[in-house]
Amino acid sequence: MERGIVVEEIDKGKGEQSARPTVGLFVTCLVDLFRPTVGFAAIKLLEESGCDITVPNTQTCCGQPAYNAGHRNETAAIARQVVAAFEAFDYVVAPSGSCAAMIRHHYPALLADDPKWAARAEKLAEKTHELTSFLTDVRSVSTTAAALPARTSATYHDSCSGLRELGVKAQPRALLAKIDNLELKEMNDPEVCCGFGGTFCAKYPAISEVIVSAKTKDIAGTEADLLLAGDMGCLMNMAGRLRREGHRTEVRHVAEILAGMTDTPPIAGSGEDRS
């Protein structure tokens, strides 16, 4: 990742010698290309939890777009590259439920028949986590140093892969509950898909638009100041629709709020017109 995140190489033996666990940050394509702040927020949170962080400069995509499109051989090639880039770390963490789920659940099946890579994929899967799940379930983080200067309300969208494949739901809410001046307002259906679905929104745009429109109606019904989630694809999809419909809700990745890094404009807007 060369655009947004400073990289460094890891000593292959560091994980065994250091008292602090080593974490390889899987930045994700959308964070790298559209929202580097999320990557820096993740690094801050992971360092504050007592970890040493490295961003391998050989990482690329997790392969999910190709996988969803049915290109299994091409995805397996990507998976081998990711395994090689990250297997030296104690943990792999991604600020994305969908990318983490791809590595954790689909890599072992993709490489199951490859005698050279099957066991390596299994080992990588076992130590791969979504960011908020890693902070709470692995590092036992119960609060962050974040605080908001004024009373603010937020609603949270549960991304499909994070929720259904990784069980991420209570973890981000537990961390958000400890932030001063932040009130969580739940949607009627926070677990319902936003319509992004990776390649789904490109292949079936009319259906995707109906789904995201129902989602933005639910979001607007909370009258929350902020919309938060843990996946950039979902956030960009919902933010774009909210703006086109004229809503003033600010949209941010949950890591930005937890790390107190809110100086940059929200996704798809400046937020200056928020009432």
pLDDT at residue number 203: 86
On the question of a common fold for 14-138 and 147-258, the answer reads: yes
CATH number of 147-258: 3.40.50.11810
Q: Half-sphere exposure of residue 139, counting CA atoms within 13 Å on the CB side?
A: 28
Q: In this structure, what DSSP letter does residue 105 have?
A: I
Burial (CB < 10 A; 0-12, 13-18, 19+), residue 148, is: middle
Contact 181, 152 (CB under 8 A): yes
Q: Half-sphere exposure of residue 78, counting CA atoms within 13 Å on the CB side?
A: 19
pLDDT at residue number 269: 79
Sheet order of strands, 226-229 included: 180-184, 147-156, 226-229, 250-253
Helix, strand, or coil (residue 128):
strand
**CB within 8 Å of 242: residues ≥ 6 apart:** 216, 219, 220, 227, 249, 251, 268
**CB within 8 Å of 160: residues ≥ 6 apart:** 97, 98, 193, 197
Would you identify the CATH topology of the domain 14-138?
Rossmann fold (3.40.50)
Which secondary structure element, helix H or strand E, spans residue 54, and what is its range?
strand 52-54
Helix, strand, or coil (residue 241):
helix
**Cα 36 versus chain centre, distance:** 12
Which secondary structure element, helix H or strand E, spans residue 93, and what is its range?
strand 91-94
Q: Where are the domains positioned within the chain?
A: 14-138, 147-258
CA dist 214 and 206 (Å) reads: 13
Which secondary structure element, helix H or strand E, spans residue 184, and what is its range?
strand 180-184
Residues 34-88 have pLDDT tens digits of: 999 999 999 999 999 999 999 999 999 999 999 999 999 999 999 999 999 999 9
Contact 252, 230 (CB under 8 A): no
pTM of the model: 0.90
CA dist 154 and 67 (Å) reads: 33
Contact 245, 216 (CB under 8 A): yes
With a cut of 70, which residues of the chain have pLDDT below it? 1-18, 270-275
As a whole number of Å, the end-to-end CA separation of the chain is: 37
Structure tokens at 160: 């499909």
Structure tokens at 118: 């099957």
CA dist 157 and 242 (Å) reads: 14
pLDDT at residue number 205: 87
